[in-house]
């Protein structure tokens, strides 16, 4: 598994602090400015304007041509809460995991950890093997049909190098998407949850912020107003390559045992 220090971007001399996204869904208005800004800056191909029958969602999910996806969740009115439905909106994105399984399985080094702690695909090195796709516990990475290579959010790596904010966060009119040092964002997010609880929103909770979770914490985490499953997020994501060292060790011992049994059989036959 790729070793990584979540407090810094280890492996780089004088690395900057780890950077990330905090997405506060409580102030998302579903405007899709983040989707448009992402496509424009990164030259992501258009994916069509397909009415999916799922409220106002026309992209459906994160894929090779949708690096930001604004989900619209329409819930029926609560008992005694009037006739208006409840709307939940969330701009989803690659989580830039601390323990990233996609890095573990990439055979070409196309996927790499940047000096900002983000995970990026180098499309000129990607050979289209697709190993990273099932490895991602969030189902983020996807291949383009025309060339077979893997694509996903880079957190605008080219902009970060120039000290600029990622395009999606820059375009967000409500500051639902916030970019900055991950440690500061986590502190800010905890204060926001406390404020919502005091304001009578007990369902507010953070998702992906815990360094002790199954992926070591996410570089892009969220404030949610309902259970993660409501937003299409796994409730307890685990890095899919967690057991690889144990599996390889077991396979090695099994191979040695088999070799030993073959040798004993051969020597016995020779006698």
Does 94 appear as a known binding residue?
yes
Q: Residue 75: what pLDDT?
A: 87
- CATH number for 19-240 (one of 3.90.1150.10, 3.30.465.10, 3.30.70.20, 3.40.630.30): it is 3.30.70.20
What is the SS3 assignment for 251? helix
Segment (H or E) for 70 = strand 69-75
21 annotated as belonging to a binding site for a ligand? no
Domain boundaries, the chain: 19-240, 241-271
pLDDT tens figures, 201-231: 999 999 999 999 999 999 999 999 999 999 9
pLDDT of residue 218: 97
pLDDT at 248: 42
Q: Is 150 flagged in the annotation as binding?
A: no
> For residues 189 and 98, what is the distance between their CA atoms, to the nearest angstrom?
18
Q: Is 211 annotated as a binding residue?
A: no
266: annotated binding-site residue? Answer: no
* Cα separation, 194 vs 50, whole angstroms: 39
Distance CA 132, CA 117 (A): 18
* pLDDT value, residue 260: 59
Is 102 labelled a binding residue? yes
The annotation status of 260 as a binding-site residue, yes or no, is: no
Annotation-wise, does 38 bind a ligand? yes
Q: Check whether 31 is labelled as a binding-site residue.
A: yes
- Non-local (6+) Cβ contacts of 12 within 8 A are 115
Of 35, 12, 3, 23, nearest in space to 220 by CA: 23
Q: 156 in the Ramachandran plot: left (φ > 0), alpha (ψ -120 to 50) or beta?
A: left
152 is in an annotated binding site: no
191 is in an annotated binding site: no
Q: Which residues of 44-64 are buried (b: 16+ CB within 10 A; e: fewer)?
A: beeeeeeeeeeeebbbeebbb
Nearest to 31 by CA among 67, 70, 73, 75: 70
Q: Do the annotations mark residue 83 as ligand-binding?
A: no
Q: Which residues of the chain have pLDDT under 70?
A: 1-13, 48-49, 54, 81, 242-271
Residue with tokens 């290579």: 149
**Predicted local distance difference test score (pLDDT) of residue 267:** 64
Three-state SS for 163? coil
21: closest CA among 99, 93, 120?
93
């Amino acid at each position: 598994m790729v070793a990584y220090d979540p407090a810094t971007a280890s492996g780089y001399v004088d690395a900057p602090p780890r950077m990330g996204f905090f997405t506060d869904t409580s102030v998302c208005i579903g405007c899709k400015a983040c989707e448009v800004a992402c496509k424009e800056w990164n030259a992501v191909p258009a994916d069509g304007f397909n009415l999916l029958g799922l409220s106002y969602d026309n992209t459906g999910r994160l894929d090779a041509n949708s690096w930001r996806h604004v989900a619209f969740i329409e819930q029926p009115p609560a008992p005694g809460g009037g006739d208006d439905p409840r709307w939940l909106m969330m701009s989803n994105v690659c989580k830039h995991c601390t323990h990233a399984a996609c890095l573990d399985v990439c055979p070409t080094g196309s996927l790499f950890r940047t000096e900002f702690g983000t995970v990026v695909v180098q499309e000129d090195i990607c050979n289209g093997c697709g190993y990273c796709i099932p490895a991602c516990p969030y189902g983020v990475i996807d291949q383009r049909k025309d060339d077979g290579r893997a694509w996903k959010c880079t957190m605008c790596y080219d902009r970060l190098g120039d000290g600029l904010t990622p395009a999606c966060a820059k375009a967000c009119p409500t500051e639902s998407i916030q970019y900055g040092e991950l440690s500061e964002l986590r502190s800010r997010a905890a204060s926001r949850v406390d404020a919502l609880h005091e304001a009578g929103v007990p369902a507010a909770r953070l998702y992906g912020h815990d360094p002790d979770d199954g992926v070591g914490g996410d570089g892009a985490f969220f404030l949610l107003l309902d259970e993660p499953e409501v937003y299409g997020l796994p409730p307890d994501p685990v890095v899919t390559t967690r057991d690889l060292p144990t599996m390889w060790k077991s396979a090695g011992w099994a191979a040695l045992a088999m070799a030993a049994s073959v040798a004993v059989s051969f020597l016995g036959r020779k006698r």
